[in-house]
Amino acid sequence: MLTKPIDLLMLNELKESYCYIQEGEVDAVAVVQSYEDGMPAASHRTRLTALNVPPMGLFYPTLLVPEVYPPPPRSWFNDYEDMLEETWHFDYPRRPDMMDSLYPGFNIGLPMWDSYLIFQTKPKKEENVGLAEAITSSILSTGRIDLKRKLFCSIQLIGGVALTEGLIPAVEDRLVLLIL
């Protein structure tokens, strides 16, 4: 069981050095350090075979398999309320300690803020589009298929798994079939 930080470091090193995706047989030999309580550190060689290689489905983005993983409900994409901050709709109060007659041009009997012109800065019709949906439609609106493929893959392959050798070309090939 991997419980010590040194174990996790060794596992990450093994993943970065030996984990890759390719068709056919995979044979490699790795040097593994073993640390047991009360025992000195020992190293031994371990043979890595294709059985140790995780299946493609582990790395394959589930967004690309809509039959198996249906998209979330439409309401999940409506995150616009959390993102927008409407700072231009504040009502600014008058200063009660100052008279309107102190301001030149406002001696016509109207309070200062009643004669202030307010321009509409918000569009009349607002489309409620969530962030994920906006990004997806923006990428799909690009004309070139290779650009779509690169943009989708760069979004989906984030994190340590993107460093896996051979993963990006494998996902790009499958993505081309879905976009076309």
Measured between alpha carbons, how far is 135 from 150 in angstroms, rounded to an integer? 14
Long-range CB contact pairs, 110-118, < 8 A, 24+:
none
C-alpha dihedral sign at 37, 42, 48, 54: positive
pTM assigned to the model: 0.29
> Do the beta carbons of residue 78 and residue 128 sit within 8 Å?
yes
Q: Structure tokens of 79?
A: 């995150």
**Model confidence band, residue 145 (pLDDT cutoffs 50, 70, 90):** confident
Phi, psi of 89 (to 5 degrees): -105, 20
Q: Which run of H or E residues covers position 47? A: strand 42-48
pLDDT at 47: 73
Domain ranges of the chain: 5-53, 57-179
The stretch 63-85 carries a mean pLDDT of 53
> Do the beta carbons of residue 164 and residue 20 sit within 8 Å?
yes
Q: What is the pLDDT of residues 19-41, one digit of tens each?
A: 666 666 667 777 777 777 777 77
For the chain, give the number of residues.
180
Q: What is the pLDDT of residues 95-127, one digit of tens each?
A: 555 555 555 544 455 555 555 555 555 555 555
pLDDT at 179: 62
